[in-house]
Structure 1
Amino acid sequence: MRQKKKSRWAADLSLSPPSSSSASASSSSSSSSGDGGRDAGEKGGDDRLTELPDTVRLHILSLLPLKYAIRTGALSSRWRALWRLRWPHPAALEFSPPTDLGDSAADEFVAGVDRCLSARGLGRRIDALFVALPPGRRYDADIKRWLEYAASCGVEDLSLVVSPLSLAATSARPGRRARRNDLAAVSSAFFFSISECSSLARLTISGLHLSSPSANIKRLSSLEVLSLQAAHVTDAALRRIIAACPFLRSLDLCLCRKLRRIMITAASSRLTSLTIVGCVRALEVTISSSGLRRFRFSGNYLTTYSFDSPSRLEDVYISSGSPVSSLPRSNWVKALGELSNVKVLTLCNLSLQYIVAEGVKAIGEFRNFRNLRELQLLMGMMTDDNLMDIYGFFRLCQCPRLEKLFIELPTNMGDPFIEKYLVGSEEEPPEVDFEYLKIIKINSFKGHSNEICLVKFLLGKAGSLESLVMISPKELMGEQHNKNILDGCPDFLHFLQSQLLSFTRASVGAQIILSEHDDNKFSPTHWEVYSKV
């Protein structure tokens, strides 16, 4: 009966399905339950919570914050997604503008949202509210009105997004005029209204123009997760916002092009995760939070990386996808050498160049990677020099407990930066021992000589290897490879497979898989960060 009522409400209010953040949270909590939790509740008969009547279980869920209500899906299949029905009315609302934006689309959209919220009534609980605003006008009063309503309904997850301009609108307003209209689409005053949402735990802001709030801004004492995406936020504004969130544990900064010096003060001691992606003008990051465990950065290398407690970092992602003629000035290698307890690490080919360039000085810095369990290498280029950089990393950086290795090779079939294409290096690989390495996965494997040398090196050193998985691009069957096809081999993929099986293996039982299709059985921890770039 509840499901029918929810569907009818969604149809009447022209609401979209729940936002992706809510859906992904439900999915992740469901997947984490595993078969064990399901069997315990359904077969064991000892799960008294699951045996309670639905009305009682829904009442229990109504007493829990949203994130804990979602996590109850791990108890059994009967709890899974039950949190969506914990209120007798829709509690996950999503408002998106029409795809065909006309001259009056923004006004019509605002009027539609107002009608929906008015029909819904005051005081009815909102778990998650997603609003995508059409560009082309200001929304000062509208946002203030909607946030006041959301605050009265105890909203916990709030997303405010400025929709990108349509192609027609962009062509009609070329150059600086279009950029000025984008910047003026919303006001920064909405932050004062957000501070009235006392139950807010997760906030996503995309495309909004934020100025520095006043020093006496009311604190967001419940906010734990903050994501700023393509937001026009200054260094000062970011510092004030962070200072107003004493319990913030996760901060995500994506495409915030005004940021130059990102500072996290000691007052943010609860911050455990910081992600910075595509903030192209950023020069420095200073982190005084002793609780930081996860640092993920993608963009132009910063001149200064400063961590108060680098030895506590366990999860680090450092990547720059842009080729450079010379290494930019940065203290990154010194900062990396202080990560004595890192367990999951992602590096790009430029990172490897930094390490190797330090030469003998890096040896003392990096021999403390004793806890590293998973390493991912993002090779935007794969020349002879890049192969030597990989060798150099393993020669300088001892990883005695490494268990998983993921390598992303260049996706393009012909790299304009490669001068010695398909020519292998004559330098000997380093004498290292991958005693605990069990999983190796290489994406975009094309069988080039440098790649073959790398595979031979890994197979010969990994004595406990269980699986070597190589995913080849479908474009591999081009004419340039036909000359390598042997009689009796139907295609180049089979030829490569036969070659790989002939290599010397330190682990006799290692399974070698070469395929065009990735079943995602093995995925790196940082796959989500990599896909975001």
Structure 2
Amino acid sequence: MDTRVPPVPMGRAMAAEFRRHGDDPDDVQGTVARVLSYIHYALPDPPVSAAARLYALAPHDAVDRISALPDALLRRVVACLPVKDAARTAALSRRWRPLWRSTPLVLVDADLVSFSAAAGAPDDSSKKAREAARGVTHAVSRVIGAHPGPFRCIHLTSSCMEDFQGMLANWLQVLAMKGIQELVLVNRPWPLDLGLPATFFGMATLTRLYLGLWKFPATADLPRGVSFPNLRELGLCSVVMDTQDMDFVLARSPVLETLCIKGNLFRMRIRLASRSLRCAQIIGSSYEEIAVVDTPCLERLIVSGTWRRDGASSGSVKIGNAPALRVFGYLDPAANVLVVGKTAIKSATKVSPSNMVPNVKILALEVRFGVRNDAKMIPNVLRCFPNIERLHIKSGKTDETTGKLNFKFWQESGPIKCIRSSIQMIVFHDFHGARSEVNFLKFFFETTRVLKIVVILFDTGSFSSMDEVRSKVEVLRAAKRPTGCSVLVTPSTEPEECNIWSFKRGSDFSRFDPFTDY
């Protein structure tokens, strides 16, 4: 997995502090590097790329046709350039001199990182790496001070904020005054709970905001008028945040459509109450509860990679008022307790219309078929979603089996409406060839009446050859299934990032099904 810049190495004092607590600083730094990499993968792509190349006019063509273009077109050209190149256009000629200052600013501070600092060469000393990061910080200050605004898009992921908290507070104040629209702000990352300055709340012009590795400022004493009236997309990556502060942000963001939370390891209650929210993603996080309280426009609820501390109880996912909810998953019975209305769904729960979610069309489940209690949840969970048309099953790995469920169990589980009459496509992710997986699929095939497409994505690490794959799947091909139903068996090609989950994929409404490319 790639990240544009590594974390700044921790200083000697911080390393000594970790040792005093019994932690190896190298291990801590490696973990933080992975977290930072995951965050960078989840961030929205900046609107400019430093990979582009600029070329001079050919020797035989001395006519400068570009400078003859109208100012509006030239500003669009400047807006597509990395900030260093954009600022340098002022030196081209008198014609170009005012253009950069009159073009809404796009600043990606990673474009200011020198090659040696970005590469993180093994012989780089901690002091040298920190000096390079400080250099980027000072360069950002010069750019922010030199440009009169407005600020269209600012990505700050490479600056060193540990020693410049006063400067950061000033940046945020200036960004607010100059009409910032999109902001990506990631700490790089020491200390891990560095406080975000309260001047952050002045940015009322924001339409998109992503924060990474910060401690969110307290909201209890803020004036009633503080709000984010234009904010449509919010991403929080490894942000230390209290439940009441999350409630505050949602209540003060009246047009928010997309909420993405990633890597939150503090058990909080996430209450979704919003008249505008269309997509909520909670990825790789720990929580006491995710409660869909009142979300009349919510179309997608994606909960994946739930993280639990040793001995911690499962977090609950409560579905209340969500009449537009169409996509839901990956629900994991080992980590999530599903609550519909006021009913917690268990293997013995009597499912009735009062605890069903009839509007969901695409459902994704993660199940450890080798763990009996996990697999026993499947029939009742499916009964809660009577009208799904696509079902995704991700087969989870387990080191210990606690009793496999045979074909007879599935036969005796009773009728499941969605399997019989609504599921037209099933995608089975990470098929390992276990008998419990085969028994479930065989039951599914012999029960369904409307199934059209079956996609089995097998885990390449579980098989020694394609002949072994074919032998495991042969019994399924021979099973009775609806006429015209096709079965596709193919290796899983999803990279690690898809398991970690990208916000981009889940909140891309051009994708009919965010869980697969099929």
Q: Tell me if TM exceeds 0.5.
A: yes
Q: Which of 373, 378, 383 is residue 390 of structure 1 equivalent to?
A: 378
Q: Which of 138, 152, 155 is residue 156 of structure 1 equivalent to?
A: 152
Query: Are 2:363 and 1:363 equivalent residues in the alignment?
Result: no
- For residue 455 of structure 2, what is the amino acid of its counterpart? V
- For residue 170 of structure 2, what is the amino acid of its counterpart? A
Q: Could you tell me whether the CA contact under 8 Å between 1:131 and 1:159 is conserved in 2?
A: yes
Shift of 1:444: 1.1
Q: Which of 249, 255, 259 is residue 270 of structure 1 equivalent to?
A: 255
Q: Which of 426, 432, 445 is residue 446 of structure 1 equivalent to?
A: 432
Which residue number in structure 2 is paired with residue 293 of structure 1?
278
Counterparts in 2 of 1:204 and 1:429: CA distance versus 1, 3 Å: same
Counterparts in 2 of 1:94 and 1:185: CA distance versus 1, 3 Å: farther
Shift of 1:456: 1.8
Q: Which of 413, 430, 449 is residue 429 of structure 1 equivalent to?
A: 413
Which residue number in structure 1 is paired with residue 30 of structure 2?
none
Shift of 1:319: 3.0
Tell me the distance in 2 between the aligned counterparts of 1:242 and 1:305.
27
Structure 2 gaps, min length 5: 1-43, 50-64, 118-128, 189-193, 508-518
Deviations 1:363-404 (A, max 9, x none): 358644111111112346752222212223113x1322x111
Shift of 1:204: 1.0
Q: Which of 384, 393, 403 is residue 389 of structure 2 equivalent to?
A: 403
Shift of 1:315: 1.0
Which residue number in structure 1 is paired with residue 449 of structure 2?
463
Q: Could you tell me whether the CA contact under 8 Å between 1:405 and 1:437 is conserved in 2?
A: yes
Which residue number in structure 1 is paired with residue 234 of structure 2?
251
Q: Could you tell me whether the CA contact under 8 Å between 1:318 and 1:351 is conserved in 2?
A: no
Which residue number in structure 2 is paired with residue 226 of structure 1?
209
Q: Could you tell me whether the CA contact under 8 Å between 2:369 and 2:395 is conserved in 1?
A: yes
| Residue aligned with 1:437, SS | coil
Q: Could you tell me whether the CA contact under 8 Å between 1:301 and 1:320 is conserved in 2?
A: no
Deviations 1:309-353 (A, max 9, x none): 2344221112344467766275x34x3244343111013324775
Structure 1 gaps, min length 5: 1-18, 25-53, 64-84, 96-111, 165-179, 483-489
Query: Are 2:175 and 1:194 equivalent residues in the alignment?
Result: yes
Q: Could you tell me whether the CA contact under 8 Å between 2:46 and 2:108 is conserved in 1?
A: no
Which residue number in structure 2 is paired with residue 145 of structure 1?
142
1:53-68 equivalence runs, <5 A? none
Q: Could you tell me whether the CA contact under 8 Å between 2:276 and 2:296 is conserved in 1?
A: no
Q: Could you tell me whether the CA contact under 8 Å between 1:232 and 1:257 is conserved in 2?
A: yes
Which residue number in structure 1 is paired with residue 39 of structure 2?
none
- For residue 206 of structure 1, what is the amino acid of its counterpart? V
Tell me the distance in 1 between the aligned counterparts of 2:240 and 2:350.
33
| Residue aligned with 2:438, SS | helix
Tell me the distance in 1 between the aligned counterparts of 2:171 and 2:202.
13
Query: Are 2:480 and 1:496 equivalent residues in the alignment?
Result: no
Tell me the distance in 1 between the aligned counterparts of 2:428 and 2:106.
39
Counterparts in 2 of 1:325 and 1:265: CA distance versus 1, 3 Å: closer
TM-score w.r.t. length of structure 2: 0.65
Q: Could you tell me whether the CA contact under 8 Å between 1:188 and 1:210 is conserved in 2?
A: no
Query: Are 2:481 and 1:509 equivalent residues in the alignment?
Result: no
- For residue 147 of structure 1, what is the amino acid of its counterpart? I
Which residue number in structure 2 is paired with residue 131 of structure 1?
109
- For residue 45 of structure 2, what is the amino acid of its counterpart? S
Counterparts in 2 of 1:128 and 1:353: CA distance versus 1, 3 Å: closer
Counterparts in 2 of 1:518 and 1:245: CA distance versus 1, 3 Å: same
Counterparts in 2 of 1:476 and 1:163: CA distance versus 1, 3 Å: farther
Counterparts in 2 of 1:192 and 1:244: CA distance versus 1, 3 Å: farther
- For residue 331 of structure 2, what is the amino acid of its counterpart? C
| Residue aligned with 1:313, SS | coil
Report the identity percentage: 16
Task: Name the structure, 1 or 2, with higher relative contact order (CA <8 Å, separation 6+).
Answer: 2
Q: Could you tell me whether the CA contact under 8 Å between 1:225 and 1:248 is conserved in 2?
A: yes
1:11-22 equivalence runs, <5 A? 20-22=45-47
Tell me the distance in 1 between the aligned counterparts of 2:224 and 2:197.
8
| Residue aligned with 1:158, SS | strand
| Residue aligned with 2:433, SS | coil
Q: Could you tell me whether the CA contact under 8 Å between 1:337 and 1:365 is conserved in 2?
A: no
What is the CA RMSD across the aligned residues, in angstroms?
4.3
Q: Could you tell me whether the CA contact under 8 Å between 2:292 and 2:322 is conserved in 1?
A: no
Shift of 1:20: 3.4
Query: Are 2:469 and 1:472 equivalent residues in the alignment?
Result: no
Q: Which of 298, 315, 318 is residue 300 of structure 2 equivalent to?
A: 315
Q: Could you tell me whether the CA contact under 8 Å between 1:337 and 1:366 is conserved in 2?
A: no
Shift of 1:119: 4.5
| Residue aligned with 1:363, SS | coil
Tell me the distance in 2 between the aligned counterparts of 1:320 and 1:519.
15
Counterparts in 2 of 1:502 and 1:306: CA distance versus 1, 3 Å: closer
Tell me the distance in 1 between the aligned counterparts of 2:214 and 2:185.
7
- For residue 376 of structure 1, what is the amino acid of its counterpart? A
Shift of 1:184: 6.4
| Residue aligned with 1:195, SS | helix
Q: Could you tell me whether the CA contact under 8 Å between 2:428 and 2:455 is conserved in 1?
A: yes
Q: Could you tell me whether the CA contact under 8 Å between 1:320 and 1:348 is conserved in 2?
A: no
Q: Could you tell me whether the CA contact under 8 Å between 1:229 and 1:253 is conserved in 2?
A: yes
Tell me the distance in 2 between the aligned counterparts of 1:117 and 1:244.
37
Counterparts in 2 of 1:140 and 1:155: CA distance versus 1, 3 Å: same
| Residue aligned with 2:417, SS | coil
Deviations 1:430-457 (A, max 9, x none): 4113323222111211210121122123
Shift of 1:229: 2.1
Deviations 1:121-149 (A, max 9, x none): 55422563211266625576543331234
